[in-house]
Structure 1
Amino acid sequence: MSAEVLGRVRATLARWDDEAWTAVANRGLLRRARKDLESVAVTLAEDDEQRDAPTVAVAVGDNVVRMGPSGPADATCTCPSAVLCQHIITAGLWLAAQQEADTTPSLSDELMALEATTMTRYAGLPGYRWAHQHLDDLDPDHAPTLSQSGYLAVTFAQPELTIRYLGGGLDGLVLDQNVPHPERYRVAAVLAWQRAHGLRLPPPPPPRSGSTKSGRPATETARSLAESRARLRTTAGALLRDMVAVGVSHLSPAIRDRVVTAATWAQGVEYHRLARLLRRIGDQVDLMLARSAAADDLALLGDVTTAHALVAALDAAAATGSEPATLLGRARTAYDPVRSLDLMGLGGSPWRTGSGYHGLTCVYWSPSRRRIYTWTDTRPENVPGFDPRHRWEQPAPWTGLTTPAAAAGRRVVLTHAQVSPDGRLSGVEVTSAAVTALDSRELMDQLPVQDSWETLALPRPRALTDVFDPTGAWAVLQPARALPARWDPSDQTLTWTLLDHQGETAAMRVPWSRLHAHAIERLEALGSGLPDGALVVARLRRTRGQLVGEPLSLVMPDRAHQPVDSLHFDPGSGQATSSLVDRLLRSGVPDQAPADDEPAASPVPAALAELRALVEQEAQRGCTGAPAGAVVPRLATAHAALRKVGFPVFADPDRSVEPAEALLRSLYLVQQVETALM
């Protein structure tokens, strides 16, 4: 072996730390390898084999390890192990310890020097094309994050994957998860690093005609999918306009059947976002037909408007020949593997939807990944034997965790977790959990505490068709004080107001539900008696300037055990039975339907409110058979009034479109402006 090769191998291995070794093996093998260094003879060996690439041979006891400049990626061992063994790790640790000075080029320079031809040869043209498209499809809020210490690291959020570069070319890129086609992700990591440093390689040529697994030419399959999507967009657009033309207040079973068919069709052509919207619209139509108290024709109209805009956006994207993943969406059942996930349990809450489902959601904070994760167990209400409140004390989904309640206020390390892009954890049996206790100080030091409501940066879509990450709406608040909880009999909601040091308010609201009775009782008893330094975990939103939240739990100071107080489940300290809750339970007051979009606390401009009222009135009663002259001129007048008060986005409506189309376009503009004013 040459001194040059030996130096390159040592320089590469000197950058490997415990996290890098764990990514390719596990901590148990790493511990055994370190013991081997103390008890087994390790020396350089003569390498008499003729090999295509230069390697270094290391004798580890009776076994010989051969390793090239890529490090463990191309290492072999004479032992019978079919995977990376402890002898390879032992040899790597020993070689790293021999490194004196690193005279190799910088790791960043190595990645920047990789050319398109090299990456195409490594991953193949389809793999190189996939890597380009993967980066192009990523939402700006989920762009890869880059870091540099002893080595380079590129972390992807979708899927959750960290790729470390410790030298040695493309094979030297180490993935911390097992993913299909790892070579594609290695190329994507290189392209991400290059783009972040000002180098953007040209995209690869488009694929030429080939054959799919079914034997059909690829161009024919793509053409068939494009034609089916085009027909769906035409059908869905006509359906949504018909719902407004008929009137959203008096839809028929035939409309419901058309919605169900369109939702199934959308799922089949991989329009996942549109399919979810249509399914939600179908659920709302079912409530309308059943004359349920939870039915809301205006909420239905809002979803119809958003779906209509999404169809238009998909049409425009298809016309350019590129449909971005942010518009297509992703299958809700798609989960990505995460080898190890460090979490802290923040409590749970039971819930019920107006469409007939109920469940339990548990919330976790990951200090290493700096984001919220959730696990949810849900069932239709007509399924016997399931109770969201009882589920809190029933067996947890992962081996090693006894119940969902046992995670609250404790550290939970999940191994082989399955995570969706929006932070939902799967309850698959392959996942195992290791649980350790935390005291108040350990937990509080790791949480993203916010003590100023004005500076809270809550996620919200820039447009109604943008992807929204619901986990970003969770926050940990440190209020200066709290006001006594106040019950509003008009909307059957308890409001508990938190104030920061500047006197800004955040209204914690709990609508009446039998599932929420315990939390209402707890908050009513707590009132203004929030202990100094206590934290409040809540899901927040801003409604036109006002901060509104749903409280989940308290993080109590100076507790050696159980620092998290789950408001929906944990008993209060010596609290008396609430007369309010007792009266509500005895009187049989119905549960309040969940309200994601509550009435504004601060009014919008009068002209905007008037346009919304006009559109809602026409859409509720329908405009079938009404001439365009009966609707569009009134919209034009309302648009002109808005332009006069500084809203030029409200251009004169297109008088050539049918009334239902004009109403949907106007309402979408109203929704966009209201979103911007929040």
Structure 2
Amino acid sequence: MTRADLLVLTPETLASLANRGLVKRAEKDLAAGSGPVVTTGDDGTVRGAFPDGTEAALPAGIALEAADCSCAAPGVCRHRIALVLAYQRSAPSAPDDTQVAEEPFTDWSPAEFDDDGLATALGRPAVTAARRTRERGYTARVHRPTATDPAPRVELPTCTVRFPVPHELGYALSDAAAPLRGEVVTLAVWAFRAADAEQAEEVTVGGRTTAPAGADDALRAAVALADELLLDGVQQAGPVFTGSLRRAEQALTAVSHHWPAGAVADLRDQLEAYAARASRYAPERLALLLAELHARHRGADRNRVGVLGTSEAPVTPLRRVRLVALGCRIGGTARDRTAETYFAHADAGTVLVLRKRWELTGDQAPTGHELSTRRLLGSPLRALATANVVSEHTARAADRTVVLSRGRIAATSITPVGSAWTELPDRLLLRDTAAHLREAGERPPRLIRPRVEADAVRVIAVDTVDDIGYDPAGQRLEAVLRDPAGNPVHLRAEYNPLCPGGLDALAAALADGEVHCVSGMLGRGRGRIVLDPLAVLTSEGVTVPDLAPGEGDTRLTTIRPRPSDPITTTLESALTALADAAHHGLRHLTGTSRTTLADTATHLRRTGLRTAARLVDALTGALHTQGATAAVPHWVAAHIHLTTSLDLHQENALETPVAERGGSH
């Protein structure tokens, strides 16, 4: 009897089941001739007798951690790993003494396991705990196996589960802490069941059919505040209104409506930025947040958990993890500074973010470069933002924020990132950005998508860099990167006054070094693939623009604004007109604003966007005949339609090959 489950266990999978050090120790023992004598019983049990007298047994259908070994080591020991490696080298399918034959690709789904099978493999307490989570409801993103990525996996709100061995639960891997493994594996199997039934990639599993007490009231109260702001505009919103938003955010969080709570928090931040005349205030951002609250309210009846936020525990402890820093983003107000350091979690295939906030006192106004010397986890921020981090004290939240602590001695180690970017898995290191975005296009509309910023962060492999220049009107640096598949990626970096030397450092890294990779938020804009950069990996090392020195006084080569297609221009102009109306307030629109809205409908109609034109016409008509209050739902309907239309147009524009679009511009 051949044990196919043992033959497909790679050193990487074994390291995930135990740790890399044990795998290396087992490999050294085999190379030194200290490996076991391997025998296989009629029932498939693989036994190993070691020279030191230790005996280990791997019964069929039993997880590696539950296998027998006479040594006293807890968990998966080096003897069990050595027995797996020795069996692979001695199995009939091995072509020689050191290499195992490559297994053919198996297309399978973990949904094949029923609840009895889950209870047998993982224990009834784990299934019972998972049922409690299912009653509250949870969201998941399912990744089915492919020839290039043969292990099915599920992204749960606070961890990831992989199934590296076909038709086997015992080898399922999760980054959650060991006591939670059975529960999260069960949740992942249920997610595959739902995804297979719905033929979908993102699913909501379980959840109450009715909202918890007070939940609908909290959501309606938040929407009412959004309507009040839309009617009166930002100039009328004083400290009392800001306080009302803070209380609404707290009420939404209390009933696990995390995504609307995040929108309310961002809305409050926009009002504070306007009051402080800070550059981060943008009418378009304000309008998008108002529309988002309404969209989530409308979508709650159909998908309460996915639209409003998960009821998962606030954080989930993770087992020992290895994280690769991808750069840092600096933000803040007159009263504080924030640093968001992004990390690739290669084993889970996700990106996590570590947030740190500093209160400012007196006349303090530190730049990003000055913050780079402040210490986190015992290291300067500039070192942490370009480091490999191995931690045994990690917890992850549903929004993919991560909490790291040093704990006991050597529980968290920080070392230079080196070449770790180039060793990331394909789902994090992209060599074909267009293909990746086509797959991502199947997600829900942006206005009701889970609010996870790190979800867009990726590392882009760079073949060439072209057209580096500065746009003075937009205060941004632009460049065109080519990935190995030939796709143009339009890098766009906005000037950050908190990091005056950022654009200079970015331009120098793109122009002077041999660029290998660029990390950043990947998306679409004006029908093109767009990257908002975090850091650049060149032959000289990693450059993090937000932490770079300098005063921003370097003369940069200027470029002319790039042309846009008529549909994108018309949709963006229409959204700008709606944002201007929200900024002033529907009750306080000037004659110029009303004329702009009427002209917007005309431009939409001329471009062939008749539905959008009718919605804007309905808004102007209501303003003229019924008053501002009656116009609110028409403004909301128009903004939601225009935002979704723009997103879909930009996604579809990427379907056209570059050659058919007349080049990269």
TM value normalised by structure 2: 0.69
Q: 2:255: which partner in 1?
A: 269
Residue 269 (structure 1) shift: 0.1
1:590 alignment counterpart:
none
Give the match for residue 50 of structure 1: none
Q: Tell me which residue corresponds to 1:337.
A: 318
Distance in 1, Cα, partners of 2:206 & 2:344: 42
Q: Does 1:302 align with 2:288?
A: yes
- State how far apart, in whole Å, the 2-side matches of 1:602 and 1:328 are: 36
SS of corresponding position for 1:156: strand
Other structure's SS at 1:143 match: strand
- AA aligned to 1:341 is R
Figure out how many residues of one structure are paired with residues of the other and give that number: 603
Instruction: Confirm or deny that 1:563 pairs with 2:537.
Output: no
Which of 310, 313, 325 is matched with 2:306 structurally? 325
From the superposition, tell whether residues 243 and 426 of structure 1 become closer, same or farther in structure 2 (CA, over 3 Å): same
Q: Is the 8 A contact 1:635 1:653 kept in 2?
A: no
Match of 2:415 in 1: 435
Q: What does the per-residue CA deviation read over 1:43-82, in whole Å, with 9 as the maximum and x for residues that have no partner?
A: 8799xxxxxx997776555555454312434323455445
* Displacement of 1:306: 1.9
Aligned with residue 663 of structure 1, among 628, 631, 635:
635
Correspondence list, 1:67-466, <5 A: 67-71=58-62, 72-93=64-85, 99-100=91-92, 114-119=113-118, 124=124, 126=128, 137-138=139-140, 142-146=141-145, 153-158=151-156, 159-164=158-163, 166=165, 170-171=169-170, 173=172, 175=174, 177-188=176-187, 190=189, 226-288=212-274, 299-314=285-300, 316-317=301-302, 323-328=304-309, 334=315, 337=318, 339-341=320-322, 343=324, 345=325, 347-349=327-329, 351-354=330-333, 356-363=335-342, 374-382=353-361, 388-397=368-377, 402-406=379-383, 417-419=394-396, 424-430=401-407, 432-433=412-413, 435=415, 438=418, 448=429, 462-466=445-449
Q: Is the Cα contact below 8 Å between 2:354 and 2:402 reproduced in 1?
A: yes
Deviation at 1:15, TM superposition (A): 3.9
- For 2:554 and 2:109, the matched residues in 1 are separated by 71
> Using the alignment, how far apart are the partners of 2:260 and 2:599 within structure 1?
32
Distance 1:234 1:537 in 2: 39
Verify: 1:613 aligned to 2:577, yes or no.
Answer: yes
Aligned AA for 2:67? A
Q: Structure 1: how far apart are the matches of 2:632 and 2:83?
A: 72
Matched, 1:544 2:526: yes
Q: TM-score, normalised by structure 1?
A: 0.68
Q: Is the 8 A contact 2:231 2:586 kept in 1?
A: yes
**Residue 467 in structure 1 maps to residue 469 in structure 2:** no
Could you tell me how far 1:265 is from its partner in structure 2? 0.5
Q: Which runs of 5+ in 1 are unaligned?
A: 1-6, 47-52, 208-218, 582-597
- Structure 1 residue 667: Cα displacement: 3.1
Contact 2:500–2:552 (CA under 8 A) maintained in structure 1: no
Is the deviation greater in 125-134 or in 181-190?
Answer: 125-134
Q: 1:396-447 CA distances to partner (integer Å, 9 max, x unpaired)?
A: 427xxx4443467776666665455665553322562363674799789999
Give 2:66's aligned amino acid: D
For the structure 1 residues 640 and 229, does the alpha-carbon distance in structure 2 shift closer, same or farther, using more than 3 Å as the test? farther
Letter in 1 for 2:449: D
Contact 2:467-2:479 within 8 A present in 1 as well: yes
- SS in structure 2 of the partner of residue 426 of structure 1: strand
Return the alpha-carbon distance in structure 1 between the equivalents of residues 468 and 596 of structure 2: 46
The residue aligned with 1:518 is 501
Is the CA contact 2:44–2:59 (under 8 Å) kept in the aligned structure 1? yes
RMSD: 5.7
Deviation at 1:281, TM superposition (A): 1.8
CA–CA separation in structure 2 for the residues paired with 1:347 and 1:449: 17
* Equivalent residue for 1:23, pick from 16, 19, 26: 16
Deviation at 1:263, TM superposition (A): 0.8
Distance 2:562 2:332 in 1: 19
2:656: which partner in 1?
none
The answer (yes or no) to whether the contact 2:346–2:424 under 8 Å persists in 1 is: no
Q: Which amino acid aligns with 1:467?
A: P
CA displacement, residues 446-466 of structure 1 (integer Å, 9 cap, x when unaligned): 995779999987968734222
Q: Which residue type is aligned with residue 18 of structure 2?
A: A
**What CA distance in whole angstroms lies between the structure 1 residues aligned with 2:104 and 2:478?**
60
* 3-state DSSP of counterpart to 2:270: helix
CA deviations on 1:98-155 (whole Å, 9 max, x unpaired) are 54369x99987896764454446665564675798899832xxx42343679x97332
Tell me: CA distance 1:405–1:458, structure 2 relative to 1, closer, same or farther (3 Å). Answer: farther
Measured in 2, the distance between the counterparts of 1:88 and 1:454 equals 40
Distance 1:543 1:199, change over 3 A: closer
> Could you list the runs of 5+ residues in structure 2 that have no partner in the other structure?
95-102, 651-665
Name the SS for the 1:146 alignment partner. Answer: coil
> CA offset at residue 18 of structure 1?
2.6
What is the Cα deviation at residue 184 of structure 1?
A: 3.6
Contact 2:133 2:312 in 1 (8 A): no
CA distance in 2, matches of 1:34, 1:412: 25
For the residues of structure 2 that align with 1:148 and 1:494, how far apart are their CA atoms? 40
One-letter amino acid of the structure 2 residue matched with residue 647 of structure 1: R
Change beyond 3 A, Cα 1:31–1:580: closer
SS in 2 for 1:517: coil
Q: Which residue of 1 aligns with 2:654?
A: none
Aligned-partner Cα distance in 2 for 1:91–1:239 = 64
Contact 1:365 1:372 in 2 (8 A): yes
Share of identical aligned residues, percent? 15
Partner of 1:4: none
> What is the rounded CA distance, in whole Å, between the counterparts of 1:172 and 1:528 in structure 2?
43
1:620–1:180 Cα change, 3 Å: farther
| Structure 2 equivalent of residue 588 of structure 1 | none
Cα gap change, 1:569/1:77 in structure 2, threshold over 3 Å: closer, same or farther? closer
> Which residue does the alignment assign to 1:216?
none
1:144 is aligned with what amino acid?
Answer: H
1:359 aligns to what SS in structure 2? strand
Rounded Cα–Cα distance in structure 2 between residues aligned with 1:41 and 1:503: 51
Contact conserved, 1:360 with 1:378, CA < 8 A, in 2? yes
Contact 1:463–1:672 at 8 Å: present in 2 too? yes
Secondary structure of 1:227's partner? coil
What is the rounded CA distance, in whole Å, between the counterparts of 1:507 and 1:199 in structure 2? Answer: 37
Q: Which residue of 2 aligns with 1:210?
A: none
Cα shift at 1:268: 0.1
User: Counterparts in 2 of 1:579-618, with a 5 A limit?
Assistant: 609=573, 613=577, 616-617=580-581
Within 5 Å, give how 1:631-650 maps onto structure 2.
642=604, 645-649=608-612, 650=614
- 1:648 partner amino acid: T
Q: How far apart are the structure 1 equivalents of 2:279 and 2:469?
A: 31
Distance 1:641 1:323 in 2: 37
Shift of 1:228: 1.0
* 1:496 to partner: Cα distance: 4.9
Q: What amino acid maps onto 1:426 in structure 2?
A: V
Letter in 1 for 2:14: W
Q: Distance in 1 between matches of 2:390 and 2:477?
A: 35
Deviations 1:330-377 (CA, angstroms, capped at 9, x unpaired)? 78963562634363x55545x334575423344556677766555443
